[in-house]
Amino acid sequence: MSVKGYGEAECSECGMYHCEAFYCKECLDAKVEEAKAQQWQLDQEHITTLEGQIESLQADIARLEKQYEDSEKILNREAAFEEQRLHEEVKYWKDKNYRLGG
């Protein structure tokens, strides 16, 4: 930034002289618009990243729900098998006790 006269400075961007600022209004407005566009682009990238993370988490949830359902089915089968085994064992001991005169 160079100084032309009292209270005037050269715009760092376009070289025009104006009052004591690094940028003239037009260049400053352009910088603001450029910054807004860059921020918008960063926001879009962040949104895309978050959407990907959400999809990944939803897939994880679905997988875990499936595992839970499968585990529940296995446990129910095992419980039914154990219940059947216990009924047969009780029947065996009742029959044995009956035969022994108990």
**Strand blocks (E) in the chain:** 8-10, 17-19
Name the CA dihedral angle for 13, 18, 24, 25, rounded to a multiple of 10 degrees.
-170
pLDDT of residue 12: 67
Contacts of 27 (CB under 8 A, 6+ apart): 11, 12, 13, 14
**Residue 48 to residue 37: CA distance in whole angstroms:** 17
CB 33 within 8 A of CB 42: no
Q: DSSP state, 102?
A: -
Please report, in tens digits, the pLDDT of each residue of the chain (102 residues total). Answer: 454 545 566 666 676 655 555 667 788 888 899 999 999 999 999 999 999 999 999 999 999 999 999 999 999 999 999 999 999 999 999 988 877 775
Q: Rounded to two decimals, what is the model's pTM? A: 0.54
pLDDT of residue 9: 62
